[in-house]
Every structure is written in C-alpha cells, then in structure tokens.
Structure 1
Amino acid sequence: MTDLVRLSGPRHARVPVHSVLRRIYLPRAADATASSMATYAIPLLVLATTDSASLTGIAFALEWVPRLCAFGLAGAAVDRLGATRVFRVAATARTAVTVTAALALASMDGGASRITVMLLAALSGILAEFSYVAAETVGAVASREAGDGAHRAQSVLLGIDQSSALAGPALGGVLLQWAGPGGMLTTIGCLSFLSAVLAPRIRRPQPSAAMPVTEGLRAGWSTLRSIPTLAWLVAGLTLSNLTSGTLQAAAPVIMVKELGHSSASVGLLWSAAAAASLIAVAICRYAIGKWGLWPVGSVSATAAALACLAVTQAHSYRSYLLLISTLMAGEAGMSIVLRTLRSRLIPPAAFGSTLSLTILILLLPFPLAGALVAVTPPHALGHVITVCAILQTVGLAIAFSRIRTDPVLRAPEPPVPTP
C-alpha cells in the first residue's frame, strides 16, 4: 500500500478543475461591472457638482492617464507573476480603496470630497488596468482551448464587457441618486471583493526572468511589428478610439448644455449604446463563422465611420442616441476581430507584454479626447468631432485595405464541433 502511495510522486498544489464559466466568465463579469460603474459615475459627479464643461473634460482625462501609466507594469507583472495572482491582488486592493473612500466621504464635503473622488478615480483606474490585462490573458486561454471556435469565446468575453457597460452607467446613476456616493462605492467594493474570491486558478508557463518595464514594452513592440495584420488593425482602431473618446467625453456637455437633458439621460445613452453592442456581438459571432473576419470587420468599420460623420448633424436626443448606438455596434464588431487576432497571432510567452502594449496604444486617444473637450468651447465641439470623424474614416479605410489579403481574415471559421 505504501508503494502505491509513493508512485504518485511528490505533492504539488493541484489546480481545481472548474468550468469556463467559473474560472473565466464570472470573475470577468464582476470586475468589468465594477470598472464600468467607476468610469461612468465620476464625470457625471463632476458635471453635476461644478456645472463646468472644462472640469468634466479634465476629469475624463484624469481617469485615463493613470490607466495608461499602469499598462507597462501590468503586462510585465502578468508575464512574471501570472494572471491569477495579479488579478486577485488588483481586485483586493480596489476593494480596500473603495471602502476607505466611502468611509472618508461620509465625513467630508466641498473641495475635500472632490479631491477624494479624483484620487479615487486615479487609483481605481490603475487597479482596473492591472485586473483587465490579467483577465484578458486568462481570456486568451479560453480562446486557445476553443480552437477553431476562438471567435466564439471572444464574443462571450466581449458580450460580458458590453453587458457591464450597459449595467454600469445605469446602476451607478441609480446608486448615486438613491444611496449616495457611499452606497455606490460600497457596491463597487463588493463587486471587487467577489472578483478576488472568484479569481481563476490556471496553469501557466514557467515565470519569465524579471525585466524592466521598458524592456517589456520593447518586447511587445517587437512582437507587434512582426505581425503586420495586427499592427494595421491596431492603428486603425486607435484613430477610431479618438472619435469615440471625444464623443464620450463630450456627451455630458452636449446632452445637458446643448440639448437640455438631465444627467440621467447620459447614462441612458450609453446603456442603450451598450445594448446595441450586445446585439452586434450576437450577430457578428455567427457572421464571422460564415463569411470570415475581414468582411465582418469591414462592414463594422463602415457603420462606425458613417455614424461618426453624421453625429454632428444630430439635433435631437433620439437621433443622437441612434447614431451613438450605431457607432458602438460597429466598434463591437471590430473588437471581436481584434480580440480574435490577438489570441491567435500573439505568441503565448509574449502575450502579456504585447497585450499591454496594444491596449496602451488603443487607449492613448482617451486622455487626448478629454483634453480636447476641456479646451474647446461647448459650441465648437461639433467641429472637433467632425475632424476626428474624418481621421477615423481615413484610418479605418487604410487599415482594412492593407489587411484584406491576409488569409486569417478572409477564410470563414469552421464550425465548433459539438461535444
């Protein structure tokens, strides 16, 4: 009997066998919802308390600058320590930050509370990017496990993100109105704690030797340059994000000051746009399987570009809502293409650093968009959006024309075998 026991070899910590829902999708949903609530609630708080378009733009930029600064560290940390550990630490830290802020705001008012909220935005932004990079790395595992159905796994992940974007603005607004900042922050803390508890345990490659952040970014840049298809797509989507970021930063000003609607209308706008994105995800999931990545991506890019070109001509809430929803639906389709290509083309050993770099590039336009809104008078925002829309159209046209001959994008996806 003793011999039989010894045949099992030395003891190692076993990785629990969980379903994809438990080890990937549930933690992603809790974390994304917490991030969405924090992202959309802060600009609305600033506009409601200051009635200043400039401060609203500055607040939007302040949310994104710390996130960008964290990306190099996040990618290197995931490559060295593993996605599970980084995800759990980031979620736990955000729980502590939000609960502490909720307790502090209960005894503050005026300028002190505003400073506290801005500091909270910066800290939560940094922690959100660590958890996001870790979650994306885990999501790549799901895509590789899915094999030829990688785009289906990415569609589920994108659907989770869009569902969180749908629930976040509405939930944050309701909690701010009926439970106050403390209630909203406590909810974010609870969701972050749930993320930490559900953090997935997956097997990972042998940890890489420690390298400076700059070396990690250089490694990611080298990998990105070696994959022209991915590089062109990232370039086109970066210009597209400049337009969508400008619209997101300007939406509170346009809705409240120009169209005369309430702050709650802004949350409804983005919730409706997220709903349109969910529908687009469901459609693109099957369209890619039938026609391939490039046709679906090019149609999505066309829809997004046309919506942005027309949005400056919108003079009613209904038309603005329709065009923004079309834009978000188009971006959802392009995101599926990008996520699928990332999971397929980036080598696993360099995935964390390359993913971090691509996300960094894609998010660079967002603080720039906030700065544009901050320095632009409300009546001139339409001209700025028009210029951004023209850049977006040209960038997407060039990107998709350069990658159209890649066989990875042209071939339809084989059907996923039934179990």
Structure 2
Amino acid sequence: PEPLSPLDLAFWNIESAGHPLHMGGLFVFDADTPDAAQRAAGLIAARAARTPGLNTRIRSVLFSVGGAARAVAPGFDPLDHVHLTTPVRDFLTAAGILMQQPLDRERPPWAAHVLPGADGASFAVLFTFHHAHADGLRAASYVLRLFDGASSDGPADAPRPRKNDSGLLRLPGLRELPGLVRGAVTDAGRGLSIASAMVGAALDVNSSPALVSRATGARRAEGAVVGLHDVNRIREATGGTANDVLLAVVAGGMRRWLDKRGDGSDGVRPRALVPVSLRDPSDPTASGNRLSGYLTRLPVDEAEPRARLRAVREAMQRNKQAGPAGGAGAVALLADFIPPLGHRFGGGLIARSGRLFYDLLVSSVPLRGAHGLTLANSRVREAYPLAPLAPGQSLAVGITTYENHVFFGLLADAVAVPDLDLLARSITEEAAELVAVCGA
C-alpha cells in the first residue's frame, strides 16, 4: 500500500455525498460508425485493465491513525467503472448531471461514462477522477493511455510512490538533526506566511452574489470555444503569456455575464484560485497530487478590455515573482501541517472554509503531446475539462488546448448559477472583442 500524502488525504476527506470532489474531462467524438460508442466502451474497459493505477482504491489504515493508503483493489473489474448510457441530445447537459453523482469510495475512484449521441453521428466520453486519486495532469495521463495508439496497448510503467512516503518510521541520525531543525523552522515560517496571506484575502472580499450563493450540490456544465490562433495574436500584440490572455477572457466574460443578468459588475474583483502544478516532468507516472496555486483578482470591474488584460498580466507577474510556495494561493501546502486525524474529523470544516478566501477556481489542464486523438477510430473534435467544484463554491472554470482551439469547461452549481449558458456565450464574445481592440 502507498500512504496518501496530506494533500491527497485532505481531498479524500472534504467531500460529502451531496458535494462530490472529482474532476472531469468531456471528450466529444465524430463517430465513424453507428456502433462507435459501444465499441469505445469496450475498448476503454479492456485498456483500463492494463493501465497501472486505475486498479487502486483508497482505504483507511491503522497507522498513522486517521490516515489512508492506495492499494490494488481485489477483484478489480473495469466494467464496474465504464458505463454506456442511453442516447443523449446535449453532451454538456448530461455531463453536468453525471458530475453531481459521487464516485464509489469502495472501488478505485474513477469512472468513464460513454454517451451515444442522439444524432447517431457522434458520441462523447466523460471521464471522472477523484481529486485524491490524481491531479489534473495525472488524470490527463490516465485518459490519454485509453485512446487509440496509446502506451496502454503494451507494457506500462507502474505509478511511482512519493519520496519519503513509505509509511515506515525512521529515526534521524545525529548528523541529520541540524538540517531537520532548520527545515522545520523554514516550513513553519512558510506556513505562517501562507496563513497570514489567507487571512488578508478573507478580509478583502469584492465578489458578486452569483458567486456567493448557497451551494446545493446540483451541477450544470457548459462549454465555450476560442480559436488558439486568436489567443496567440492577442498575446503577440500585448505581451505576457497565453495564460494571461485566457484569464483576461474569463474576467471580461464574467463582466458581460454579470451586466446581462442584472447583477452589475461595478466594484467586482473576484478572487480566482489558479492551481500551479509542482509535478516533476521527468516523473510523469507519480501518483497523487503535486499542487500549489496562485490567488489573483480578476478585474471584472475594469471596463476597458486592454486594461483588464494589463491588470491580469501585472497580477500574475507578482504571483510568479513570489513563487508558488507563498501567498494565499499556496493553501494546498498547508495540508502538510495538519495531522491525519485532523483531516479525518475536520474535513467538513476545511471544505467550508474555502469560500472564505477564494471565489472561483480557474484551472488550466494541458493535454501534453495530444494531437489527432481517436478512440475506436473516431476522432476527438472537442475536449472540455471540468474542474472540481468544492463545497460552498458556485463556479469552476477549466481550460485546455487541443489542436487549434482553446476549450473552456464551465461547471457550476445548477441552482446558484442557472444561466451558465449565458456565461459561456459571454466568454466567446469577450475573446472576439479582445482580438478587435488589440488590433491583432
């Protein structure tokens, strides 16, 4: 068994039946034959049986008390995780309903829902992974192994455990003690710095009623698509990074959305938590989460598109200069300071505290090396990442790039945000205006 890290343990304990904490990825395919969806379901199940990591479940352990570990599930059957639905007319609507269903915690915490299209010419697959099982990059690596031509068709590397997570108690030698003391002092100082920044973020709230409504657990999903060429033209004309442009598009889209729905955008600067991967590129098979984050304010109240983009770029530059180990966005690193029993019994409190210091999640999940993806010889035409929606949160935005498009996957509380389709249209409108005003 591989013990869960403190961050994985936190993700495992903060969900409830009414507020599941899993991420999703919705892939839409052009079906090459009428039975493509059925063949895709069979291929996913067959390949999952040969993909290391998909057969591991999470179980409580005696030591450390309150902890948990990953271990191979006895009698693992991929057919318990691959579900073929009846034909659907709207893939994103169906995905929203499926995202509100919790994963079976007694089995490996993942699922693949194959959705045949009512038109007979397309189908979709919604992959879901519990956040305790994988972060976004790890989940993407699982998914890519299940497509045609992936490495799951042959031998694959087993997940590598975290360093120093063996679960064995080892007493330090005398020579190691000074370094351990210095490390403990440094870690304590970093923890206090992050906690202090979180308090500051909690005291400075400039959000909107749409983002602070009481969450219900119901889910709705929508998507927006922007041309990658347009994003690159804006970046070349204004400087900064493509990620700065995408955050500015989200900010401008939210401004349009709030004004259209009558809430107004004056004075609204929501706190966006932007996850930052700490995953070692040379160790892509490592299990668990490798995450920190940046906390940045989206300049929704800024009327001029170029000024919004400039404000986003300057805020992200400040975050990058401080690094992912400091500031309120590095809240994930505080999990290391909480003992396993604290995660076990304080999960609900930790979950509800998230809304105190951030208003929405904006997560970018790259599909590294992905191009011309197919499943059952059917080509992927759309890919929408669906970021996890924590208890107390109304909206999460996932972003990924596939071939020549940028896909925004929007997941929201269906009661708090009943007009999510309006936000999706507003995002595409904002991208078009940015291209126009930047003279790109």
Normalising by the smaller structure, the TM-score range is 0.3 to 0.5
Q: Which has the higher helix share?
A: 1
Q: Which has the higher strand share?
A: 2
